[in-house]
A and B are shown apart, each in its own frame.
Chain A
């Protein structure tokens, strides 16, 4: 009996093998696995692994082989070395991952020269996608959240004046610039703009927030990298009693990453963010995604917006492999095949804009609430459909080139 089954399987394999040439596609994954930002790398890596585990059959008879490398600190140097070697030494055909913008900026000439498609799963500085025709981004640009938040804060949350506080590195400046552009266009006024130190260390946020509290704006727009900083913001905000003092906490979704939300406590309740994902988003794909995630990583592990982007990234890569029937040697064909790709993922409907190779997605204004089961969660206040990267739409600064 067993023998017959084996025979059947072998026959099946033979027929499949003869109809299509089975290819093994080598994918290089570059994420920060060590150092202060290791947590971000792991959020994406888990999503990659999960997608591959569940969907390997989708691309049969082809297979993927994953080569993982540590992206290192956000200097660009380590990422450049390991990625170049993934191309020259390991001969990978597709690159993905990349949490830090400097990595993507440093790698543009390499990728362009090597003609290897690089599918960015996080790095959010707006103008990155202009740097190489081999870049495709499935995460977001800082403008995706910041710009619509400007108008929403003015008209729906009731912020007439706002203070900006941001971690002093390019994504922080990018995000606050996006918010300011949208907010001032809607008629709001920015009182105060406070840089809060380098991303390397989590600072004590209290002095910065105390100053904002003393200036009494209606709202405080905060950008911080979504790692260890996020919890610190919620705590300092709560400790200073700023909500009582009438200063609302708003920002991009990096303020409340799902995997840290439960730790933030009551202080986070009432925070309003603009973002593309939360575990509480109500759609079938997201529910399935969460169920699989908990099954694989336990009930206390949560995916966050980075994981959702990672999931869609691997989805796009798999669909492209299927579409090209495993023939991914030609990088420009891979990019062409990805242009216009669309799906309903955990984040809802996402599309790769054929013109900019950047993502088009729905943006949700979300408020943190205490759910009936006692856990923290979010409530969607409003949704803007099919949001593009406004920086490239308006051709602001480097986005115009």
Chain B
């Protein structure tokens, strides 16, 4: 393959895999923020929790990596309902600042708790044979794990898109994001809807946390380390927008990868430059409501 085509393929492939991770974690955050205007800075803590559940399941119980991911997503999603009902619910009418304080507090507690149970040493997971090494597609080879990430991401996007755009519940969520009072007045139980999306969002975050172990390693600080990145995806995509989050994850993932590949000296710069550029032009993000 010619040199430049090879580079382009590398960037697209790695960027796509990275974008899938960003999307999976951020989409839940976007919908909860869009639906209730709730600023949930503990979202990263749910991702971290998911990661540790996967570590425990695979290491201590010997469960396979993929089933462990699924279990972690459901477990964390279920537990998140307890938090939503017990704590978050009391603050829906509160100001953003109070929500920030509560959720940052929760994230701190989560970090200390994870350190207590798992220690500060970064954890990794044993991967099945078929996710190690690389696969050859004829013209060149690709890392299998990243290919898996892309495929999984694509499947999730299809499922979520269907649920969001084609089902009754999805329509209700979209209606509630657009105009909550109106939705309530036509008899949609927004509270229940929110609990549901919160659980799904947290479950997806947990799934993302599990998937991230192979990319970044997992330590308790995961709860806050990548939080800024998720918030950027949400802001650039537009609050509460499924399409927007996907587009933002793709753009940021691919541009970040390209920046690192082509001009590593200013690697971290590009994500923020793009964020500023997009938001200056479209303050509500790609698909947010102005």
Contact = CB atoms under 8 A, between A and B. Distances in A.
A and B touch in the complex (CB under 8 A): yes
A204 B216 contact: yes
A151 to B, nearest CB: 27
Interface in B4-33: 6-7, 10-11, 14-15, 17-18
B86 interface: no
A63 interface: no
A210 B216 CA distance: 16
Nearest to A232: B217
Given A208-B261, A231-B217, A263-B124, A197 B146 contact: no
A197 B261 contact: no
Contacts of B119: 39, 42
A201 B14 contact: no
Interface string B86-106: 000000000000000000000
Interface in A250-267: 259-260, 263-266
Contacts of A196: 260, 264, 267
B121 interface: yes
Contacts of A35: 221
B10 A214 contact: yes
A365 interface: no
Contacts of B144: 239
Contacts of A263: 123-124
Interface in B106-143: 115, 119-124, 126, 132-134, 141, 143
Nearest to B122: A228
Contact of A241 (B115, B126, B134, B217): B134
B217 A228 contact: yes
A215 to B, nearest CB: 10
A61 interface: no
B214 interface: yes
A194 interface: yes
Given A198-B268, A232-B215, A239-B133, A36 B121 contact: no
A232 B134 CA distance: 16
A200 interface: yes
B260 A240 contact: no
A260 B143 CA distance: 22
Interface in A211-248: 211, 214, 227-229, 231-232, 235, 238-241
A170 interface: no
Counting chain B CB atoms within 10 Å of each CB, the highest count among A36, A42, A200, A229 belongs to A36
A211 B261 CA distance: 6
Contacts, number: 112
Contacts of A260: 121-122
A387 B217 CA distance: 34
Interface string B244-266: 00000000000001101110110
B257 to A, nearest CB: 5
B10 A235 contact: no
A241 B141 contact: yes
B143 A204 contact: no
B145 interface: yes
B225 interface: yes
A196 B267 CA distance: 7
Nearest to B131: A239
B219 interface: yes
B105 to A, nearest CB: 16
B226 interface: yes
Contacts of A211: 10, 261-262, 264
A221 B214 CA distance: 22
A316 interface: no
Interface in B194-231: 214-217, 219-221, 225-226
B142 to A, nearest CB: 9
Interface in B253-290: 257-258, 260-262, 264-265, 267-268
A214 to B, nearest CB: 6
A76 interface: no
A279 to B, nearest CB: 15
B256 to A, nearest CB: 8
B137 to A, nearest CB: 13
A72 B224 CA distance: 16
A235 B214 contact: yes
Contacts of A208: 260-261, 264
Nearest to B6: A214
Contact of B124 (A231, A239, A266): A231
A201 B121 contact: no
Nearest to A234: B124
A50 interface: no
Contacts of B146: 206, 239
Given A36-B225, A211-B261, A227 B11 contact: no
B6 A231 contact: no
Interface in A191-205: 194-198, 200-204
Contacts of B258: 207
Contact of A204 (B11, B14, B123, B225): B14
Contacts of A239: 132-134, 143-146
B225 A203 contact: no
A38 interface: yes
Interface in A59-73: none
Interface string A22-40: 0000000000001110110
A207 B14 contact: yes
Interface string B47-88: 000000000000000000000000000000000000000000
Interface of B: 3, 6-7, 10-11, 14-15, 17-18, 115, 119-124, 126, 132-134, 141, 143-146, 214-217, 219-221, 225-226, 257-258, 260-262, 264-265, 267-268
19 contacts: A195-B264, A198-B268, A201-B216, A201-B225, A202-B225, A204-B257, A207-B260, A214-B3, A228-B122, A228-B217, A235-B215, A238-B133, A239-B144, A239-B145, A240-B134, A241-B143, A260-B121, A264-B124, A265-B126
User: Which 8 residue pairs spanning A and B have beta carbons closest together?
Assistant: A239-B143, A38-B120, A228-B122, A207-B260, A39-B120, A36-B221, A263-B124, A228-B217
Interface of A: 34-36, 38-39, 41-42, 168, 194-198, 200-204, 206-208, 210-211, 214, 227-229, 231-232, 235, 238-241, 259-260, 263-266
